Amino acid sequence: MAKVSINLATGSVQKEEIIVGIDLGTTNSLVAFINPDGNPQVINDTGKGVLVPSIVHFQKDGGVIVGNDAKEYLITDPENTIFSVKRLLGRSYHDIENQKGLFSYKIIDDNTESLVKIKVGDKFYTPIDLSAMILKELKDRAEHALKTTVNRAVITVPAYFNDSQRQATRDAGKLAGLDVLRIVNEPTAASLAYGIGLNPHEEKTIAVYDLGGGTFDVSILKIQNGIFEVLSTNGDTFLGGDDFDRAIVNYWIEQNKLVETELTPEVQQALRLKAEEAKKALTTQNIYNDFVNEIPCAITKITFQDLILPKVLQTIQCCKNALQDAGLTIDDIQEVVMVGGSTRTPLVKQQVAEFFQKAVHDQINPDEVVALGAAIQSDILAGNRTDILLLDVTPLSLGIETMGGLMDVIIPRNAKVPSKAGRQYTTSVDGQINMKISVYQGERDLVKENRKLAEFDLTGIPAMPAGFPKVDINFLLNADGILTVQAIELRSGVKQHVEVKPTYGLTDDEVEKMLLESIHHAKDDVAQRMIIEARTEGEQMVYTVERFITKNGAYLSEDEINETQNYIAALKEALKSGDKDTIHKKVDELNEYTRPFAERLMDQAISTAMKGKEI
């Protein structure tokens, strides 16, 4: 919906700038917008088609081509043809170590914890650079088709993408000249395209089944008050339509008694492309018959289905796992949304419908549905659909390290994003002028079991007695799940902040592992937390009382000082033992014994102050 606004400063009429929705896929990418009728529509830049294969080819003359034209070079010039770059986005070499054999281009291993780089010729590119090239192509196509500049976009990512991968996606957008207004989960976008979740009063649990070219994932979403909560995700990052093509190629090779290694790269590539064509044809017809050079390429729908059934059943197993992880059964799922080009295959639809025991949503083109949903999201952000507010949630808790290495959660797991929360802290030692702030992500009580995101120092706190400074720590988690932490000492106004950009990300398995471990260790954690808290309290008590005696010894008798020292010694002994009940007991005893001193001191101070002020 185009809006017209008037710039009051210049008096000129401005056309509301268009915001596009982008599906940056592993195999294909595409862009959509909201047309003048208010409906989402994919951009078809005349003659070039809707889908842009996510492939970048570096040409000998230094030129770069993206999309269909680049696809031709996959087999003939593999070293200079980059595909599946989404798999590398926001990843460290360490993350992809056991997948590196699957890339025909050169991935650089300089430091296992830093983000990967790709070498083409004598130049290095990051996955962000390469994704930006794909995004730039989409931006150009949109501008060409819409005859206007396009500067703002919503980009989708898989639900299991972590902070680092989301941040990398956002950076790629920036590099392509796009202001990325929001990073949205692909299943969320797909359900929006079907209008699911658009009504803020709607409450639903849905399954989104996404079978693309090289990846499969299924997400269980709970939609409530316009909030999309990811209850679970499951899948296989190496299962997709490519496997179906591969199965057909193998079948033809076998039928024709060929030896694959004896075929030229050109013939291998031609067979692969022919297999994809056959697979697509078999979506609507029962038999396919053609040739590559002299090689007969024939296959029936029935044979094709036999070949791919094991792969399809594998995806069904993932659906089972996802349901189980969400603690749900099939009866709890109200809608099933089909996403990804490979769900066009009738056997896939049929198996999924059979498993969930209900008709699936397949009315919208499955390879366009995510981009269409992203366009709807952009329309919401543009303020054209004021009736809804879309929110996602954060998958892991965020917090800081407090005394004794404990995790103090500031934004809990499953909090809505954007989200803002804060808490006040103070110093534990007299004259403390620095405070180290360590930010962690995870569900365990001890920070060492969680993942460190950042660390910074709040410096320049004026020297004050322990407990005096008031340090406000604020967490701001923006709508993309990117965290900014700010610390401010209120008495002095000293301020520090960091934007948390993890150097390398967690894999979905790691997130799952962290959650499972937190459940598994919940009991140990509570016990350990109680000991640490008791110890921290005890140490603090010793420190406070010792300081009190040094400062105010003059007001106490010698006996009182000696007795206090005895209580302190007993508490110190208990601290060494590490037994929380004993520590608590000794803290209480010391407290009990010394409390009257403080009261006496107070009375003394008051009577001194009152002297000579008689009325």
- Going by C-alpha positions, the residue among 484, 483, 403, 467 that lies closest to residue 432 is 467
Catalytic residue among 45, 95, 137, 210: 210
Q: Which CB, 228 or 244, lies closer to ligand ADP? A: 244
List 26, 234, 377, 536, residue binding ligand ADP (CB under 6 A): 26
Our finding on whether 28 is near ligand ADP (CB under 6 A) is yes
**Calpha distance 406→526 (Å, rounded):** 11
| Nearest distance in Å: CB 198, ligand ADP | 23
Q: Which CB, 124 or 238, lies closer to ligand ADP? A: 238
27 binds, among ligand ADP, Mg ion, none (CB under 5 to 8 A by kind): ligand ADP
Cis peptide before 465 (omega within 30 of 0): no
Site for ligand ADP in 267-296 (CB under 6 A): 276, 279-280, 283
Count of residues in contact with ligand ADP, rule CB under 6 A: 22
- Could you tell me whether strands 117-120 and 81-82 are parallel, antiparallel, or unpaired per DSSP bridges? unpaired
186 catalytic residue (yes or no): yes
Site for Mg ion in 9-48 (CB under 5 A): 25
| Nearest distance in Å: CB 384, ligand ADP | 27
Site map 362..401 versus ligand ADP, x via CB under 6 A: -----x----------------------------------
| Nearest distance in Å: CB 25, Mg ion | 4
Reported as type and span, the H/E element at residue 476 is strand 471-477
Q: Which CB, 302 or 598, lies closer to ligand ADP? A: 302
Single-letter code of the amino acid located at 98: N
Reported as type and span, the H/E element at residue 485 is strand 483-489
Paired tokens of 588: 């209480």
Paired tokens of 145: 């088709």
Beta strands in 225-371 (DSSP E): 227-236, 287-292, 295-300, 335-339
86 catalytic residue (yes or no): yes
Contact 42, 29 (CB under 8 A): no
Our finding on whether 187 is near Mg ion (CB under 5 A) is no
Q: Which CB, 53 or 442, lies closer to ligand ADP? A: 53
| Nearest distance in Å: CB 355, ligand ADP | 19
3-class DSSP state of 564 = helix
Q: Residues 6 or more apart from 66 whose CB is under 8 A from it?
A: 52, 55, 56, 57, 133, 134, 136, 137
470 catalytic residue (yes or no): no
Site for ligand ADP in 181-240 (CB under 6 A): 212-215, 240
Burial of residue 77 (CB within 10 Å: 0-12, 13-18, 19+) is: middle
**CA distances for 384 relative to 33, 455, 465, angstroms:** 13, 40, 54
Our finding on whether 349 is near ligand ADP (CB under 6 A) is no
187 binds, among ligand ADP, Mg ion, none (CB under 5 to 8 A by kind): none
Our finding on whether 212 is near Mg ion (CB under 5 A) is yes
Footprint of ligand ADP on this chain (CB under 6 A)?
25-28, 51, 212-215, 240-242, 276, 279-280, 283, 340-342, 344-345, 367
Q: Catalogue the active-site residues.
A: 23, 86, 186, 210
Footprint of Mg ion on this chain (CB under 5 A)?
25, 212
